[in-house]
Amino acid sequence: MRKYIVILLFTMNSAAVCQRFDMNAFDFYSNNLFLNIPSVYYNHAIVLCGDKEFNKALIELIQASKLGFSDNKILDEAAFRDLHSRREWNEILSQVEINKAKISDFNNFNIVTSDISNFLTLLAHKNDSGFREMLMTDYIINGSVGLRSFFSTRIYDPNNLVNAVQKSPALYDALRTEAPSFDIIKQKALSSMRLFKELYPQAIYPNVYFVVGINNSGGTSTPEGLLIGAEKQLVKDSMNKYRIKNIDDICTVVIHELVHFQQRYPENPSLLTLALREGSADFIAELLTGRTTYENLKEFGNKNWDILKTEFKKDITSGNNSRWFYNGKGTKEWPGDLGYFVGYRIAKLYYLQSDNKQVSLKNLLILNDPDSIINSIDF
């Protein structure tokens, strides 16, 4: 039996909050319950079911649903099978459906930028001895649910945020002058999401959160919503000063992540499935914004399409992903992350050849048979 250390959000002073991160070993989910976000309660329930603590697991799932958990993956989670006969189970599922209906209504959609303002207020204290505690209590814990989710998945420890600011002070200072641009991004993203609703009526609209992290994530999706790292949207200009990237590119990142939020793909993807996952997100982003997140690959990919098809087919058979994903910048002869382009090209061909565009979009978003996608096109 595991022993869980549960840290309560409203009973800690700042020193106690930060002390937890000095522990060398702890159960991740139980020690992150203080973040009070649906995904942590959900994953903690899985852990508890593994220990046959079914009553405690139900309590965690009830809390997750009350906080807005809306993912139907709860139905397929094997760890919860022993809970299906419990009275509380149907109540949890009912609340999940209510939550899902809420984010299916475009009128409930919001893009949240308040975490950037909160961070910039604290940034003035970056040289103070208490900066770490300020970040934890006044920024993380008092931040949006999106920021708290980003902390659990990308920041992990307030020390990491302090170190990032100390390593790149000019980057974080630049957010002061560039922050107003995020309001423009918000309006552009709203326009693209309205179009998505027309193309795919089943679309759901989780909130988008622009947050400040440790410069390690431009965008990701969690059950709490779409999380965009604001500092990752800045680049150096010709004068060696940080400026915001092309606003249209940032909108494309937002839409790419929105598509990931819709997708239902196998947990352990093959090369083909992974390519379709990322490529479909890029293709649909192009439908909505006119751009992909890997515009730099298009010229090479289109010019060398026949070679890419041949090599990709070989690696589908061998199961080798290393040449296609997460392989850095690559070389002039073989750029990195070509799997994005191959998946994009497959998704685009499949969509354009389809007689029923809504059905084809659904098939790209909810992938049951990746082979049927590739077999239906000239590949």
Q: What is the pLDDT of residues 129-172, one digit of tens each?
A: 999 999 999 999 999 999 999 999 999 999 999 999 999 999 99
Q: Is 350 a residue whose pLDDT tops 60?
A: yes
The answer, yes or no, to whether residue 347 has pLDDT greater than 90, is yes
- Average pLDDT value for residue range 230-235: 94
Q: What pLDDT, on a 0 to 100 scale, did the predictor assign at position 218?
A: 86
* Mean pLDDT to the nearest integer, 219-245: 91
pLDDT reading at 286 higher than 90: yes
pLDDT, tens only, 296-308: 999 999 999 999 9
Residue 55 CB coordination number (10 Å): 11
Mean of the per-residue pLDDT values of the chain? 89
Rounded Cα distance between 374 and 379, Å, is: 7
Integer CA distances (angstroms), 365 to 26, 101, 125, 369, 373, in order: 36, 18, 45, 11, 12
The answer to whether residues 230 and 220 touch, using CB atoms and an 8 Å cutoff, is no
According to the model, what pLDDT value does residue 4 have?
36
| Phi, psi for 22 (deg, rounded to 5) | -85, -5
Is residue 240 pLDDT above 50, yes or no?
yes
CA–CA dist 157, 253 (Å, integer):
25
> What's the pLDDT score for residue 16?
40
pLDDT (average), residues 215-224: 89
Which residues have a Cβ under 8 Å from the Cβ of 70 and sit 6 or more positions away?
96, 99, 100, 102, 103, 204, 206, 223
**What local confidence, expressed as pLDDT, does residue 27 receive?**
64
pLDDT in tens, 167-177: 999 999 999 99
Confidence of residue 287 (pLDDT cuts 50, 70, 90): very high
| pLDDT of residue 7 exceeding 50 | no
Higher pLDDT, 275 or 221: 275
Q: For the ranges 17-26, 51-60, 268-277, which has the lowest average pLDDT?
A: 17-26
Is residue 17 predicted with pLDDT exceeding 80? no
Residue 25 has pLDDT above 50, yes or no: no
Share of the chain above pLDDT 70, in %: 92
339-368 average pLDDT score:
96
What are the tens digits of pLDDT across the range 316-335? Answer: 988 889 999 999 889 999 99
- Establish how many alpha carbons lie within 13 A of residue 234's alpha carbon, considering only the half-sphere containing its beta carbon: 28
pLDDT value at position 317?
87
